[in-house]
Chain A
Amino acid sequence: NAGVMQNPRHLVRRRGQEARLRCSPMKGHSHVYWYRQLPEEGLKFMVYLQKENIIDESGMPKERFSAEFPKEGPSILRIQQVVRGDSAAYFCASSPGTSGSNEQFFGPGTRLTVL
Chain B
Amino acid sequence: AQSVTQLDSQVPVFEEAPVELRCNYSSSVSVYLFWYVQYPNQGLQLLLKYLSGSTLVKGINGFEAEFNKSQTSFHLRKPSVHISDTAEYFCAVSPPTGGYQKVTFGIGTKLQVIP
Q: Which of A48, A98, A105 contacts B98 (CB 8 A)?
A: A98
36-89 of chain B: CB within 8 A of chain A: 36, 41-46, 49, 51
Specify which of B46, B98, B106 is in contact with A103 (CB 8 Å cutoff): B46
Using a Cβ–Cβ cut-off of 8 Å, how many residues does chain B contribute to the interface with A? 27
Chain A minimum-CB-distance residue to B99: A99
Q: Is the CB of B49 within 8 A of A42?
A: no
Number of interface residues of A (CB under 8 A): 29
A104 to B105, CA, bound (A): 12
Q: Interface residues, chain A, CB within 8 Å of chain B? A: 4, 6, 31, 33, 35, 40-43, 45, 48, 55-56, 91, 93, 97-109, 111
Residues of B participating in the A interface, judged by any CB pair closer than 8 Å = 9, 32, 34, 36, 41-46, 49, 51, 90, 94, 96-108
